[in-house]
Structures are given as structure tokens and as C-alpha cells.
Structure 1
Amino acid sequence: MNEKNDLTKKKLDLYDTLFSQDTIDEILNQAESFLQNPIFLLDTSYRIITRSKYAEAENSSIETYNGENYLIFDTINLMQKSKCIDTIYNTSNSFFHYSEQNLIFCSVKINNITIGYIGVLESIRKLKESDLEYTDILSKVLSIQIQKENLFISNSGLAEEYYLVDLLENKIDNLEYFKKRLQFSKFNLEENLLMLSIPFKQKYNDFRHNFGLQQLINQLKNILGNSIAAYYKDMIIILVSNSNEYVITAEDSLLEFLKLNNLKCGISFVFKNLKFIKDFFYQTIYTLKLSSSMKSSKHIYYFDDYVEYYMFYMASNSNNDLYKISLENLIHPFLRKLIDFDKENKSDLYETLKTYIENNRNANETSHKLNIHRSTFFYRLNKIQNLFDISFDSTNKLLKLELSFKLLTYNQLIN
């Protein structure tokens, strides 16, 4: 049998694995028997989803973290510098990549969205031209099998998605390691962070419309600016980061977008430490749940407006499986800002506001308790309002701050 006929038979055999084999691993091992070289299947965050039998012994460019295997940073840097990653995303065909190690790369696409890619490493047999054609077929077969296994069904096809989901599911618990991996995305980790969740049902039968989901996410990111997004638990979730303390600087545009697409959005407190991202994600979840129970008809819901209702809900619910947000992350971020400002400037604004609220917003009583003149008190109060662009005219705002003062005091007592 000549080489061309042999290749045709091998390709048919590979297609046949869709009916004769049950898993991606079995398909990779079948492909390996022809390519005679290790085969890797990676996702777009450089994590190795699975690999063929020969590939199990190839660990020179791989590091293991929390039970997951990733390409090492040096290898990723080389792939980016040589534009290899760009080629993977921009073409559907296999191609040779020559460096310290010779490889074949090929993207794996679903609905024209790159959800991963194949790497064939020249290790046992020299790579040849016909291997490209065979790897093209392998890519198509894996795409079909992945859809059969629903392996990527919750994903939007965005490269950054895996970073956010891994963080939420504690697959990466070392923040420094996570930050290093983020360097390979377009997301900049700024001082202020915010979580958003937007319910959007994406059933498996509708997966062919995934392009629409990706478009929604891209439009949201254009509005929100520096952010990473994922499709997770039937929701579009977005982590936004900004040096501006308000984080979302185009709120009107966000509201118009949500109205136009008939979507609702839960928004967390502003936070600074990625370590607590899960708490702030669940702030958005409980905000959406509570707003629905209270039959609110808005499009944007802030956890700021539902903190006390969350506490009532948790106190009245006997379900021990409910996720509990830590007390520390229920405290209004405004108080954190006030504390930080006092430390940096050796001022007493936090104590001034706390005493004012504890004394029923009575200026005379507050001045007496702080042992300062009334004019000094009003100077401090105005300074707080001007510095942080906040008004104390709203009784509801002061009640929320009073609750946070009590939470902060209680949290300090129990710790």
C-alpha cells in the first residue's frame, strides 16, 4: 500500500474512533499510534487537558499546580514571541513550529471559536508533511468528541475564561502564581476590583448559538473596560479592575445595554484582594436571588442595597449547604477607605463618623464625646463627604454604614 492510500486509511480509522471509542484519551492514543509522537491537548490558558501515552513521560516544559498540568512560563513566552499563539487562533489548519523542540500545532474549534489546541511533539519519529493533514482530521474529530462529552459546554470560547473559573473554583489558590499566569492575558490587575453576574441560560441544544454569547460578552467588556469574563453556572460573570475607585465608569452605557438585551445584573462591593473573590461572586448571586424574590423590576442590582436582606435570609434559612459570605466581606468598603485614609494621614475621620452615627447623628453630642468644638466636627464631616464624594443626607445610607460599623466591631471582637 502506498503512502497516500495508507494516510487515507489512517484518516478513516481516526474518524471511526468517534463510534468505536468513548473518550478523548482513547482518540488521542489511536492518533498517537499513527503519528508515533506524543500528543497534547491544551486549553487556552495553557493548561494540559489530557495527553497521549507517549506524552505522559514528556515533562520538561510542564509544571504541576494543584493537580493540574500547565506549560511552564518560559515555553509560553517563547510561543508568544514567535507569534505561535496568534497563528493557532487565526488559522484552522495545522502548521509546523520549529524551535528548540519541533512541533505541530492545530487549533480545536467549536462554531469557529478556538476552545483549545493540539500539540504534537517531535520525539520518537521525525515529523513529516503528511502529519499535518492527519492532525487536521484529529482536530475535527476532537471537536466533535468534545461536544459529545459536553466538555466545554459552559465556556464562551474566550481565552481568559479559564483564569477566572480556576480562581473561583480554588484550582489556583496561590495569588502570586495566578498573577503570573494573568500576565499572558490582556487583563491588567489594578487596585480596585468588582464582580458582575448576568443570568443567561445557554442550553446544550443551543450551543450552535455560542457566537451570540461571545458577542454579548465582548460588548460588555467594551463597556466595562479592563476585565475578564466567563460563562459559568448559566451566567455571564465578569471581573472588572480599575485604578478608579468607582471601577465602572460607564454605568449609563451598561444600563442601556442591559435594557436593550433584557438582561439583569448583580454587582458586588468593590474589593481589593483576589483571595476573597468567591465571597464577592456570591454577593452577586444573592443580590440577584433576593431582588427576584422581592419582585424588583430593575436591570442593575447592587449588593450594597441587599446586605441586610442577605443577613435576614441567612438567619431564617436552615439549609447548611448555603454558601456563607464571611463577615469581613459584608462590611461596606467605604469604611475600609476611611480607615486606610486615617492611617496614611494620621487623621480621625473614621472615629468621627462612627461617633456621629452612634449618637443618633446629633452634632452636639458627637462634639462632646470627641471633646472637640462643633466647628471642628462639621469640618471633619464635610471633609469626609468631599474627599469620598458621599452624602449623609440619606437616612438609608447612614443606616447601612451603622450596620457596617457594628459588623466591623463584632468581627474584631470574635477575631
Structure 2
Amino acid sequence: MFSMWMLHDELAGSIVHSSLGRASKARCLKGALPCLDINETSFEYVYVIDAQAGENIQIPSTYAYLVIVGDHFRCDEQSDCQYIVLNGEIGYTEALVLVLKAFARFNEWYMALQRELNDKQDLNRICKIGNILLANPLYIFSSDHSIIAGFSPGYDVLINDFCEKIGPYYIPTPELMNTLTSEQQFQQTFKAYEATLYHSDVIGFDIMYVNLGSSERFEGRLTVSSLVRPFEEGDFQIAEIITEVVRIAWRRSSLRYDELSQVFRVFLASVLEGDAAESKQTRDSLRLWRWERLGRFVCIYVMLSEQDLKTSTDAFICSSLELALPRSCALRFRNCIACVAPLTDDWSKEDILDTLRDNLEELVSHIGISSTFEDILEADQYFNEAAEAVVIGVEQDPMRWDYPFQEYAILHYHRFGTSRLSAVHYCDDDVRRLLAYRGKSIDYYQTLKIYLEHNMNLLQTSEALYIHRTTLFKRLTKIRSMIEADLDDARQRKRMQFSFMLLENSEHFSVE
């Protein structure tokens, strides 16, 4: 389906006048037909009218899409009819041929996009095909603003001015991103869905963009830069068509299933096996996916049933996970799908669960999700958490779809002790959070432990820690801001004390 504006731009050299409004942006036209009766038209076609001679033809006031050849016509000022007037000197037959050729070109172009979907779904190829009608450089950005595909004939220098190249991807420099994100208009682009024009003084030229994803979630965008010619009205509809194709390709296969991504997946598999260690190779591998070693992560275990494997492929499930959870990485691991997802400041584990339900509940049978953890090199332990959650969860609640480990941690501990997972996995989240400070110059872990052991008595605690009460008060204020538990709640205090005792008494965890 194509729009009247697209046809207008294709016939621009022969147009003497046009009356096109918002309705001309609608992509509803299948093709062109000669007009036999001006009062018998369909919204699905544009009709070519011979108005070169004879009495003036009355153009209908209702919606219709017309190409008029000649000037023997009249139209009411308030008419809703969308029409283009061609120079009568070219003749009606030639005008009809021009319009039919325009639609043939549109169809050939669109079929090339469809063939790409049915073939390799190569995003760079899609950009090249899109460039046939857009002429200007075309790029696809991921949610973290990396350029992951694009057609740039002779404009690599321009990209290099703003971006750093990592493998096949271009990552905008921090300076550029800081400048862009400070602009109000740039922020507003995240709220738009349709093709929209954006001009930045930083870059110095117009950019047309279409967001990928939905209005609630920014997954990436398609952009076109006005470097070859100014934008035309039909370009916006062309960009929307390309974006629809990109969205389909985006969901059918992972955007990063190339040779470089396979290198990262091999690395991640070694992490999940527990074979990775701190090294330059580890740092370089993490950089491929724009991860840092330390952060906030969760592991997801996707249980695959025979039915799941009949209805979906590994690649489709992995790409669905990665699309649902931006910056995550999923792979086939042993007899399941494993996924590691970084948590941003505005994403909680509950947000991830909600997103997974929305995107995968009809795709796979069961999933397990680990506790949050901070060191990616510990992902193997937390992947085991997620796997254990599914095993015990399916046994206890077979009709449930998702199994967060924390909801089954106590049952798992009573059944297996620390024979399968170390003590830290059964601990209160707040205690685990404070473990990062254990042995530091300001040991918040030890401070809270001693404070609870002395029944929250400030004097006794300060004496036990050999610090002044004012210092202790400052530490406790900081601790209260770091944890979610209410220290005035006796039940929550007991839970934390149990965690401290469990860690100290476990043979898998020693306190120096």
C-alpha cells in the first residue's frame, strides 16, 4: 500500500498543481486505474482523469484520490478530494503510463524488501534497498544508540566525526550523546512513533527518524539524514514502510546474530560454565556487548518442552528475550535457553518479570529467574539459582509460569542445605547487598551485624566496634538508606540475623 504523497514525489517533474492534505499521507493505494466514472471511485486506487478538453469536469467534494491531466475541471474550495494535476501537454495516455510506472517501481521496491525478509533478513541489505527511494543515508540504531546497520555511500567520514567504531557497530561518542540528550526536541523524539523530522544544531542537518518498538518502550530507531537532497513529503511514508520491515526482521532474528556476536556468546557460555576469570580478554568480550563487569544483573533459565521446540526455534526464543530485555544476551546452553540481563537504574526485577510475561508466556513453558547479583563473573552461580527455581517450582506449582528463586529459597535450603548452592544465595537481599562492603575501610556489613547482635544498643555497639557513637550513628544512617528492610521491624531483623549466622556457619563462606 502506498500514499498519494509518494506518488506526488515520483511525478514531481510533471506536476503543475496539487491539492494534498493529511489524507494523502495514508498508505492505502494499491495501484492506478483510468477513471471511467468520476462518481465511482474507491479509496484503494488512484484514478487518472482526462481533463484536456471538453466541458469542465466537476471534482467530487468527498474523499477520492485523483491524477488529473489538463485543466478542464473545477473543484469546490472545501472539497476533501486529494488530487494531483499533471501538465496536459504530456497527453493522457503518457500520463497514465507514468502513473502506472510509478506504482510498478513502488511494487518492485516493496517486493525487494519482502524478499529480504524471506531470505537472510540482513539489516544492511534492507538499508540499501530503502536507499533506492530515499536517496539519503539510512541507518538503524539500537536502544543504546549504537549504529548497527546502515547505508552510507561516501559518508563514513561524517560518522567517524561523531562515533567510535567497535567491530561492525558505531557507538556515538559520550560528548555527542550528552549534547543531544540535553536538547528538549531530542527527548521528545522518544515519545513519537511515526516518521518525524528533527534538526540539531550539533549535527547541522535534518534527520528523519522513526522509532522502533512502542510508545512505552524505546527499542531503537531508523534514521535518514538529509545529506543528498532535502526531504520530501513522501519520504516519511517510505521511512515508515522500511521501519515496518525492520521491525519484522528485528523480531524474527536477533539483531546481533553475526560473527562478532557469536564470539560474545561463546564467552558468555564460558561464564555460565564458571570458566571465565578477570583478564583483558574478559574486558574486551564484555565491551562487545557494552557491558561492565560490575553492575546489577539477573539470570533467566528458560525451560524448553518438546512442544516449545516444535513451535519455535532457539534463535527466535533468544531474539524474543533480547528484544524484550534491552542489552540482554540469550543463547542455547545445555538443554535450555540461558539469558543474562543487566538491570538499569529504572528497571527492577519485577519489571523484568512483567516484561517476560508479556513477551514470552505464550512462547515457552516455564522460566526461572535468579536473585540480582553484581559481578558478571558470578553468573554461573546465579544461573544455577534460576535453574533450581524451575526444578522446585514446577514440582510445587506446576501451573505457574515464572519461578523467582527468592520465593523458593527457604524450601530449597531446607531440602538441600548448602550442597547445591552456597549460603549467600539463601540470604536476605539487604545482607547480600552489604557484603560488597565487607572488609572495606568502612565495613557496613560488620557494623549492621554487630548492631543487631547488641539489640540495637548504640553504646554497646560502638564499644564493640571501637568507634565513637557519632560515627556509628552516621554509619547506621547510611545503612538505612542502602537497605530496604525496616530495622524497627522485629521480624525483618530476625531474617537478617539468620542471614548473618548462615553466612558465618557455612563451610562455603568464611568470615575472616
| Structure 1 residue matching 2:405: 3-state secondary structure | strand
Q: Whole-Å Cα distance in 2 between the matches of residues 397 and 304 of structure 1?
A: 16
In 1, are the aligned partners of 2:149 and 2:169 still within 8 Å (CA)?
A: no
| Correspondence 1:9-408 to 2 at 5 A | 9-21=104-116, 22=119, 23-54=122-153, 56=156, 58-65=159-166, 68-80=169-181, 81-99=183-201, 100-109=204-213, 115-147=219-251, 149-151=252-254, 173=286, 193=296, 195=298, 197=300, 266-268=369-371, 271=373, 273-276=374-377, 278-279=379-380, 281-292=382-393, 295-297=395-397, 300-302=404-406, 305=410, 309=416, 312=419, 334=431, 337=434, 340=437, 344=441, 389-390=493-494, 398=501, 401-404=504-507, 406-408=508-510
In 2, are the aligned partners of 1:105 and 1:118 still within 8 Å (CA)?
A: yes
Quickly say closer, same or farther: Cα 1:40–1:340, change in 2 above 3 A.
closer
Q: Whole-Å Cα distance in 1 between the matches of residues 240 and 326 of structure 2?
A: 30
Q: CA offset at residue 51 of structure 1? A: 0.9
TM-score (norm 2): 0.45
Over the aligned positions, Cα root-mean-square deviation in angstroms equals: 6.0
Q: In the alignment, residue 192 of structure 2 is paired with which amino acid?
A: N
Q: Whole-Å Cα distance in 2 between the matches of residues 287 and 142 of structure 1?
A: 37
| Structure 2 residue matching 1:64: 3-state secondary structure | strand
Q: In the alignment, residue 402 of structure 1 is paired with which amino acid?
A: N
Q: Whole-Å Cα distance in 1 between the matches of residues 435 and 200 of structure 2?
A: 56
TM-score (norm 1): 0.53
Give a deviation string over 1:303-331, Cα, whole Å, max 9, x none.
Answer: 865589597559xxxxxxxxxxxx99879
Q: Whole-Å Cα distance in 2 between the matches of residues 97 and 347 of structure 1?
A: 49
Equivalenced residues, count: 320
In 2, are the aligned partners of 1:66 and 1:172 still within 8 Å (CA)?
A: no
In 1, are the aligned partners of 2:195 and 2:210 still within 8 Å (CA)?
A: yes
Q: CA offset at residue 62 of structure 1? A: 1.5
Normalized per residue, the structure richer in strand is 2
Q: CA offset at residue 199 of structure 1? A: 5.4
Q: In the alignment, residue 160 of structure 2 is paired with which amino acid?
A: N
Give a deviation string over 1:77-107, Cα, whole Å, max 9, x none.
Answer: 3443233353354222343435323221122
Q: CA offset at residue 28 of structure 1? A: 1.4
Q: Which runs of 5 or more residues in structure 2 are unaligned?
A: 1-9, 14-98, 258-267, 273-281, 332-336, 451-459, 466-471, 473-486
Quickly say closer, same or farther: Cα 1:17–1:248, change in 2 above 3 A.
closer
Q: Which runs of 5 or more residues in structure 1 are unaligned?
A: 155-164, 180-188, 218-226, 315-326, 354-375
Give a deviation string over 1:21-52, Cα, whole Å, max 9, x none.
Answer: 43332221122233222110112221222111
Identity %: 11
Q: CA offset at residue 126 of structure 1? A: 3.5
Point out the structure with max Rg over C-alpha: 2
In 2, are the aligned partners of 1:38 and 1:52 still within 8 Å (CA)?
A: yes
Quickly say closer, same or farther: Cα 1:398–1:173, change in 2 above 3 A.
same
- Higher relative contact order, structure no. (Cα contacts within 8 Å, ≥ 6 residues apart): 1
Q: Whole-Å Cα distance in 1 between the matches of residues 128 and 344 of structure 2?
A: 42
